[in-house]
Structure formats: C-alpha cells, structure tokens
Amino acid sequence: MPRWASEIVSSYESGAAGCFVLHGNVNDRLLVPSKSEVVLGGLPEFIMESLLPRFDVVLSYDPGQGLRIERGGKVFSQWPTIKEGLDLPDAPLPAVRMLTHYLKYCKNLQAVGAASPKVAVVIRQAHLICPALPNAHNHDLNAMASILRSWAADMRLQEHGQAAFLISENLNGLHPLVARSPRVLEVEVPLPSVEEMTTALEMLSLRCPTALENFRNDYSKPAGRLTGSTLSSVEILLLRREHAKLPLVESDLSDLKRALVERDCGGLIDFIEPDRDFAGVIGLDGVKSWLLQDIALWKKDDLEAMPMGYLFCGPVGTGKTYLVECLAGEAGVPVVTLKNFRDRWVGSTEENLEKIFSLLHALGRCIVFIDEADQALGRRASGSGDSGVSSRVYSMMAKEMSDTRNRGKIIWVLASSRPDLIEVDLKRPGRIDVKIPLFPCSDAKEAWTLLRALCKARGVDLPKKSRQARKMPELLTPGAAEAIAVKTRRRMITGGISAEEALTSCLDGYLPPISPAVIQAQIQLAIDEASDASFIPEIFRR
C-alpha cells in the first residue's frame, strides 16, 4: 500500500481522523489490488478496493452524475427516507444534505443499540462543489462548506464506523473552511514512484509487448527515466507505440519524459535536459571549482553538506542562465524552469504552484531555475491591485524553498540583475545558501580571450595576438561579446573581408548595449550580495 494510503489507514484506526481531503495526482491511474491481481484503475476504485473493503455502504457524489450507491444498495434501501420513495438528488447541496442525514441516522441507530452499517462517503471533484471563492456572499456555497466541515468537527465519523473522502485536484481550490479544518486530514496523492512505475510497465507489457520489447529484462530503467510523468500519460504513449508497432528505445526516453511532463503540467513549466557542461564556460575558475565540489558531494549522497539553493546575480548579459544549464549538465539532472504560472482567475495561481510543487517532488533530483527572480517570487506585502496573489505566492515559495526534506533533491537557483528587489527572507541562508556574483570582463586581456573564443565557435578565427586586443570595450559582458562575434561573422561574409578587418569595423562603431552607469550599479549590487569573498575578482574588490 502506498505511504499516503497507509497514513489514511493509521489515522482512521487510531481515531485521529475520519474525514480526508485527497489532493494532487487524483486523476491519474493507480495500482489497484483486486481479489486475484493488481490492475490499473482510478482513485475512486482504489479507495473502494483498498481502503473501504469492510464498509457495508459506500455512497458517492459527482457533479456530473449526482448521488450514487456504490455498494450496499439493499442496506441503504432500508432507510425510512428511501422507503418513502424519495429520489436521489443530483444538485450538490441537496445531495450533501441527504448524505448528512443518512450518516446521522446510522449514528442514531448505534446510539440506541440497533445494528448500524459502516458507511463511507466519497465526494468527487470537491473543488467544483465547494470552491475557494474569497469574500463570496453565496448562501449555498457557505452552507456546503459548513456541512462538509461539520462531518469532521461535529459528527466524529471515525467513532461511529463512518468515513468521508473529499477528492480535489488541489488543496488551494477547495474552500478554506474545509481544507484548513484542524479535524480534516489533508493527504497529497503523489505522482508515481519508480517502484510503482516499474510495476505499471510490467503490467502494460502484456498489452504493449512490441512497445516495450527492448526492456523486457529490466523495466526499472525506463521507469526511472520516466519518473515525473503520470501513469495515464505513459499508458497512452505505450498504446500509441504499440498500435504503430514502434518499440521504445533508450534514446527516446529523455524527449518523451520532457513531452509527457510538460503536457501533464499544463504548460506551467519548461523541462530541459541539459547538454552543456563547464567546459564551455570561459573564466570563472573560482566559481566553477566551488560548484564542482558541490556536485561531487551530491553524487556521493553527502546531502547535509549541500546548499538548499543558489543565487546568481550580476549585470545583464553576464551568462547567468548559461551557467545554470552548465551546472545541471555537470550534475546530470534536468532543469525545470517555471513559466508564467500566474493566472487572472482567483485561486488559479496558487493551484498552479501546488501542481508544480507536486511534480518537483516526484522528479527526484532536479534543479529549479527561476529567472528574473525579483519579479517572479512575489512580495511579502501585496499591492492593492492583485487581490493578495503576490503575497500568497511569496508565502508558498518561501515555505517550499525552506523545506529541509528537499535538501539534496531540489536545488533552487535564482537569477537576477536586481537582487536587491528580492525579498530578504527568500534569499536568506536556509533557502539560498550560496550567492554567486557574475561580473563583466575585468580587463582587455580577459575580454579578448572571451571574444576570440566566441568568434571561433562561429567559424571566425582570430589570432591569439592582435592589435584589436587593446581595443576591447570596458566591462564587456558575455552577452555583448556574443553580439560582437555574430556581427563580425556577418560583416566578414557579406563584405568579403578578413576576420580581423570585420572585427575592426565592429569595434570602431561599437556602442555599449547597456549604460555604463547601469552596469556599474549592478556590479555593486552583485558585490554586496556575494556570500564568499573568493567569488569577487580583485579589481572589483578594490
């Protein structure tokens, strides 16, 4: 039994809880143990077979299908209210009221010493019938929230052999009176683990023998590479491959995982399998040495010495994003970048973040990269025009980044040219332990080495020694140097001139893309943020 299901069982049997909110990966396929075998089924089937086998009556409500009797129809029909010929309602509030009346009826039977059935109630899509709408003056919604909360608070379901399950896609989408009730146990259903994915692939191999023929001897290998995907999306993928008679090969797994994860997450993230390493980073010897030591600790599983996160700060164009990709390539882990998870609908932004966090926990080791962190991470004090969204984003991010259970599993990497605008609490030790400043070239020699390497990568060969080396712009950033290299190649090809002549032409008309005053100010901000003096070149220390 999965850990989350064992938590439900132990909480119920101990008397700690009888009402449960299940959220997270609730729409996926699960491994459901039946009488003779394990099959793939949905969460409601898992609840019926694994958690409620000894309950006499199981009732469910779904906004689309109304109130239904899943088990124990004969017992339920003995209820006097049903004997009177009352139809099962479809509307949410009447259905929940009927369920409440039946639970009270069974409780009263027990109180007078009569035989009382064990009853369980399953509410599907609970976030649709009892949504989180701030400042909602809606009588039906408030009544619904009050009733659902009373199941746990007033009726003490577990004491009377009763149980209630509220299934919601996310916790933030459910009315806070229900989701945050101290007597309701909220349980996150995670994405499948490597072991669960392995078992699922073994089962699917019977239906998709051609699609999985290259992994017959070891299904754990593709399972490990596909972790972070839902079983539903993997099943669909294999069925399509089987129909097309296309066996899955190892080289497909990275691209397939990226496609599946991005689709499952609804476009909220970009999933990058890095193909770079520090061999492509020019200079930054002290920074690379520090990061390589951290990666060595990571590979040795010495997680207590690992930082929770990094901040890369420095002027615009100093290669912060490139360095993150090289870091991930050296570590051999994927990079997850957060896209625009903010939404105009009330509560949607928080729901999107909740979904992203669930995915990160399932991926195992990964790097989460947040570019322009000064804008993306929200503010402690929200502005008057965003209904408090910014402060709630800040709170959720702060909580997740400081969760020590993520140490060595999720590494947060923030990048910003304005680190002073990031909330102080978000970049404190325990969330961001290492703050690395990145600077422009400190002298003409360093700038020439950088520019020459970038030109060579584009097929423009420049001599090691040249008169142009003395003409290098001051405070040249990698971004600006790359622009010069591209321009040099363009002029060399279109003008039919030599590489040195093309470069001379570019440097003679060069204008810095960013004001030197802005660059100087951003350099000072980066110096002020540095967590270790060894990261700062001598010239900038002075």
- Residue where the block lists tokens 């209630």: 164
Confidence class for position 42, pLDDT limits 50, 70, 90: very high
Q: By percentage, how much of the chain surpasses pLDDT 90?
A: 37
Mean pLDDT of all residues in 468-479: 86
Q: For residues 103 and 121, give the distance between their C-alpha atoms in angstroms, rounded to a whole number.
A: 9
Query: And the tokens for 223?
Result: 């399972």
Specify the pLDDT at position 136.
Answer: 60
Q: For residues 190 and 229, give the distance between their C-alpha atoms in angstroms, rounded to a whole number.
A: 11
- Residue where the block lists tokens 């030109």: 455
Q: For residues 294 and 472, give the distance between their C-alpha atoms in angstroms, rounded to a whole number.
A: 34
Per the DSSP assignment, residues forming a β-bridge with 185 are: 20
Whether pLDDT at 383 is above 70: no
Q: For residues 394 and 176, give the distance between their C-alpha atoms in angstroms, rounded to a whole number.
A: 19
Strands 38-41 and 30-33, bridge-based pairing: antiparallel
Q: For residues 72 and 56, give the distance between their C-alpha atoms in angstroms, rounded to a whole number.
A: 6
- Residue where the block lists tokens 């990698």: 478
Do 3-189 and 278-438 show the same overall fold? yes
Asked if residues 49 and 214 have their Cβ atoms less than 8 Å apart, the reply is no
Q: How far is CA 281 from CA 290, 335, 478, in A?
A: 14, 18, 10
Confidence class for position 395, pLDDT limits 50, 70, 90: confident
Per the DSSP assignment, residues forming a β-bridge with 123 are: 61, 166
Confidence class for position 88, pLDDT limits 50, 70, 90: confident
Specify the pLDDT at position 226.
Answer: 85
Confidence class for position 350, pLDDT limits 50, 70, 90: confident
Query: And the tokens for 332?
Result: 């051999």
- Residue where the block lists tokens 């490990």: 224
Specify the pLDDT at position 360.
Answer: 82
Identity at 397, one-letter amino acid code: M
Q: How large is the angle between the packed helices 253-264 and 348-363, nearest 10 degrees?
A: 150
Of 436, 435, 365, 356, the C-alpha closest to 407 is 365
Strands 119-123 and 184-189, bridge-based pairing: unpaired
- Which stretch of DSSP H or E encloses residue 71? strand 66-71
Per the DSSP assignment, residues forming a β-bridge with 30 are: 41
Confidence class for position 514, pLDDT limits 50, 70, 90: confident
DSSP class per residue in 395-424: HHHHHHHT-GGGTTTEEEEEEES-GGGS-G
Mean pLDDT of all residues in 240-252: 88
Q: What residue spans define the domains of the chain?
A: 3-189, 194-264, 278-438, 444-511
Least confident among 129-138, 197-206, 399-408, 410-419: 129-138
Q: In what order do the strands lie in the sheet with 410-416?
A: 269-272, 335-338, 366-370, 410-416, 309-313, 434-437
Specify the pLDDT at position 123.
Answer: 96
Mean pLDDT of all residues in 31-60: 89
Mean pLDDT of all residues in 362-366: 77
Whether pLDDT at 86 is above 80: no
Strands 269-272 and 162-167, bridge-based pairing: unpaired
Specify the pLDDT at position 347.
Answer: 65
Query: And the tokens for 146?
Result: 């009050």
Go through 279-303 and write b for each residue having 16 or more CB atoms within 10 A of its CB, e for each that does not. Answer: eebebbeebbebbeebbebbeeeee
Asked if residues 82 and 76 have their Cβ atoms less than 8 Å apart, the reply is yes
CA neighbours within 13 Å on the CB side: how many for 106?
Answer: 28
Specify the pLDDT at position 332.
Answer: 81
Whether pLDDT at 329 is above 70: yes
CA neighbours within 13 Å on the CB side: how many for 425?
Answer: 15
Identity at 515, one-letter amino acid code: S
Specify the pLDDT at position 20.
Answer: 95
Q: For residues 318 and 476, give the distance between their C-alpha atoms in angstroms, rounded to a whole number.
A: 9
Least confident among 6-10, 106-110, 278-282, 477-481: 278-282
Q: How large is the angle between the packed helices 285-299 and 320-331, nearest 10 degrees?
A: 30
Contacts 24+ apart (CB under 8 A), 53-56: 54/118, 55/118, 55/119, 55/120, 55/163, 56/117, 56/118, 56/119
Q: For residues 48 and 369, give the distance between their C-alpha atoms in angstroms, rounded to a whole number.
A: 40
Q: For residues 316 and 340, give the distance between their C-alpha atoms in angstroms, rounded to a whole number.
A: 21
CATH class of this structure's domain 278-438: alpha beta
What's domain 3-189's superfamily in CATH?
P-loop containing nucleotide triphosphate hydrolases (3.40.50.300)
Specify the pLDDT at position 385.
Answer: 56
Mean pLDDT of all residues in 343-358: 75
Specify the pLDDT at position 343.
Answer: 67
Q: For residues 505 and 509, give the distance between their C-alpha atoms in angstroms, rounded to a whole number.
A: 7
Number of Cβ atoms within 10 Å of the Cβ of 108: 12
Asked if residues 443 and 538 have their Cβ atoms less than 8 Å apart, the reply is no
Q: What does the mean pLDDT of the chain come to?
A: 87
Query: And the tokens for 216?
Result: 């017959």
Specify the pLDDT at position 298.
Answer: 86
Alpha-carbon torsion, ordered 201, 202, 204, 210, to 10 deg: 90
Whether pLDDT at 468 is above 80: no
DSSP class per residue in 175-196: -HHHHT-TTEEEEEEPPP-HHH
Whether pLDDT at 372 is above 90: no
Q: For residues 174 and 23, give the distance between their C-alpha atoms in angstroms, rounded to a whole number.
A: 10
Specify the pLDDT at position 67.
Answer: 93
DSSP class per residue in 331-345: HT--EEEE-----SS
Whether pLDDT at 48 is above 80: yes
Specify the pLDDT at position 374.
Answer: 86
pTM (2 decimals)? 0.73
Top mean-pLDDT range of 266-270, 325-329, 388-392: 325-329
